[in-house]
């Protein structure tokens, strides 16, 4: 269910727990754009909850300072969300894309694959 973009070689992931600071654990590049997906780890289950992209400010900035659907920055909104949902941790995978327009296209493809498999968007896409 968790489709991996295969064509990108510059990629990694990191874990985020509510008691940590997102900007300290995020290992995404500050000077490169791309796509990212957020997996929720809760009660032994893994669920894809969000697929996002950066287009001019770098992956690090988009992941840390981008806006969560609750209108807070992700560094605050994700912490609140994890506490509310009793989430054990988030596993954030990021991928640097090659061309300027690849990030949005890749996000759409990843979302399309998810919807085809589940019949709905990830829960943080509101």
5-56 pLDDT, tens digit per residue, is 767 779 999 999 999 999 999 999 999 999 999 999 999 999 999 999 998 7
State the distance between the two ends of the chain, measured CA to CA, in whole angstroms.
20
Q: Per the structure, how many domains does the chain have? A: 1
| Residue from 30, 35, 27 nearest 4 by CA | 35
Exposure string for 36-66, b = 16+ CB within 10 A, e = fewer: bbbbbbeeeeeebbbbbbbeeebbbbbbbeb
Residue 45 lies in a domain: yes
What is the span of the domain harbouring residue 37?
11-118
β-sheet with 11-16: strand ranges across: 11-16, 89-96, 34-42, 45-53
Going by pLDDT thresholds of 50, 70 and 90, the confidence category of residue 2 is: low
Report whether pLDDT(96) > 60. yes
Residue 50 lies in a domain: yes
- Whole-number CA gyration radius for the chain: 14
pLDDT the model gives residue 126? 79
Residue 25 lies in a domain: yes
**Percent over 90 (pLDDT), the chain:** 81
* CA distances for 76 relative to 22, 38, 87, 115, angstroms: 9, 15, 15, 27
Residue 126 lies in a domain: no
């Amino acid at each position: 269910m968790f489709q991996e973009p295969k064509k990108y070689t510059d990629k990694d992931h990191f874990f985020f727990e509510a008691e940590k600071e997102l900007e300290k654990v995020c290992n995404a590049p500050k000077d490169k754009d791309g796509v990212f997906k957020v997996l929720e780890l809760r009660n032994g289950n893994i669920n894809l909850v969000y697929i996002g992209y950066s287009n001019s400010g770098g992956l690090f900035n988009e992941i840390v300072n981008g806006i969560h659907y609750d209108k807070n920055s992700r560094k605050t909104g994700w912490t609140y969300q994890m506490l509310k949902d009793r989430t054990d941790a988030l596993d954030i995978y990021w991928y640097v894309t090659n061309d300027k327009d690849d990030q949005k296209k890749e996000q759409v493809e990843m979302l399309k694959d998810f919807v085809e498999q589940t019949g709905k968007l990830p829960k943080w896409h509101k």
